[in-house]
Amino acid sequence: MPRQNRHKVSGSWLFLAIVLCIYGLSGLLDPDAASAALALFYPIMQQVLPILGMVFVLLFVADVLLTPARVRQYLGAESGLKGWMLAVSAGILSTGPVYAWYAVVAEMQSKGMRTALAAAFLYSRALKLPLLPLMIYYFGAGYTSVLCLYLLAFAVINGILVEKLAPMRA
């Protein structure tokens, strides 16, 4: 008997279907709890959807403006000190939740960004410019300066270690 061509369902679609069935079943069993859960769901989605929209816009802009040659030039293996400065500076200036940046950094890596620079970018996000005056007020300028220098130094060290431990996949 010849094999029939069966459509293979990916795991992510299967997971989504199972979760939706569970939610539907729980809604049938306890409609009050389901409506309470939906009442909590809507405000969360109102917060998350704009962030997701921003991520898609950033991905689109990155895809249009950042060609693989340009990314390799500024953030690739041959970028040198310029690449480190750019990655750390961009990490310091980046705002918003870190999960919004994961997709952007992954896109940049697919175009040739070094793993070390991606890790340095994400690590240097710990330095928050808007919070520096408050930190200086509470802890003093000396402590804040030393902490900032440590954060920047460890962003670079972390980048180097990540690249050694988890080299970029081809």
8 A C-beta contact, residue 121 and residue 82: no
Torsion angle in degrees (nearest 10) through CA of 52, 170, 12, 53: 10
Confidence of residue 4 (pLDDT cuts 50, 70, 90): low
118 with 102, same domain: the answer is yes
Tell me whether residue 9 is in a domain.
Answer: no
Are both 78 and 151 inside the same structural domain? yes
The reported pLDDT for the residue numbered 65 is 78
> What per-residue string of b and e applies to 97-125 under the rule 16 or more CB within 10 Å gives b?
eeeebeebbebbbebbbbbbbbbbbbbbb
Residues 162 and 125 in one domain: yes
| Enclosing domain of residue 163 | 66-170
pTM of the model: 0.62
Contact between 124 and 92 (Cβ < 8 Å): yes
Domain count, the chain: 2
pLDDT digits (tens, 9 = 90+) for 44-82: 889 888 888 887 887 788 778 777 777 777 777 888 888
pLDDT number for residue 116? 92
Residue 118 makes CB contacts below 8 A (sequence gap 6+) with: 87, 105, 108, 109, 159, 162
Tell whether 140 is covered by a domain. Answer: yes
